Amino acid sequence: MTLTERGKATKFIVKTCMKTLEKHNGKRVRERAAALGTSLPLDLENYDDCVRDPEEQLPIELEIDNNEKLPLLPHKFKFDFFVSHSHKDKDWVKYCLLKELEGGESNPADYSCGFRGCYADRDFIPGNTITQNIQNAITHSYKVIVVLTKQYVVSDWCKYELDTTLRTAIDEKSRNECLIPVLYEQCDIPESIKTLTHLDFTGKTCDWDKLTAVLSETPLD
C-alpha cells in the first residue's frame, strides 16, 4: 500500500469511526465524539494530510466492541474513576452509583453517561496483592470517588485507599484535584479531607449531574 493509499484508508476509517460514535446511544459518548472530531490531528477534508510515516502511531486509539463501552476519555487514564468504598456499602455502589455512571450490569448496552469505572469486585486482577490492585486502580483512574460512611471511616483498607490517593495527588501535581468525596451517610469526615468540598448524597435524591460534571472535566494538561 502506498502512502497516498494509506492516507485514503486512514481518512475512511476515522470518518467511519466518528460517524459510529456520534450515533452511540449514550448521550455523553456522543458529546465526546463530537468534541473529539474537532480536535483530531488530521484534516479529513484533505486526505493528503493523513499521510504519515508507516512507523508512526496515531495518538488516538478507538476500540469498537458491541458489548463494551466506547472508551472516549478526555484524558490519558484507563478509567474515568475508581470507587473507594466500604464492602458494607457495595450494594449501593454496584446497583446505584455504577448503574448511574456506567449504565449498570442490568442493561450493559445502556451506557447512559458513557463513563468507565474501576470497581474492586469486578476489576481487581486475581493473583495481584490487594495493595497492588489498589495502587494500580488509583494510578490508572482520572478521579477517585470516596464513598464516605460510618463503615468507611473505621476501615483500615479504606484508610489505605484514601491515604494512597492523597499521596498520589501530592506526588503528581497535575492530579491535585483527583479526589471526589461523596457523603453517603453522616459520619466523621477524616481530617485529611475535611477541607475538600464534598457531594451530599445523604438525602432522598442525589445530585448526579454535579458528579458527572466533575468526571467530565478536561484536565489542564
pLDDT band at residue 15 under the 50/70/90 scheme: low
SS3 (DSSP) at 133: helix
What digits encode the pLDDT tens for the residues 33-78? 666 655 555 554 454 444 444 444 444 333 434 444 444 455 688 9
Mean of pLDDT over the chain:
76
- What is d(CA 29, CA 25) in angstroms, rounded to the nearest whole number? 8
- What is d(CA 198, CA 203) in angstroms, rounded to the nearest whole number? 14
The answer to which of 62-76, 131-145, 195-209 has the lowest mean pLDDT is 62-76
What digits encode the pLDDT tens for the residues 164-201? 999 988 887 667 789 999 999 999 999 999 999 999 99
Instruction: Name the residue with cell 460534571.
Output: 213
> Does residue 136 have a pLDDT over 70?
yes
- What is d(CA 119, CA 144) in angstroms, rounded to the nearest whole number? 11
pTM score, two decimals? 0.65
**Would you state the cell numbers that stand for residue 46, as one nine-digit string?**
484533505
Share of the chain above pLDDT 70, in %: 59
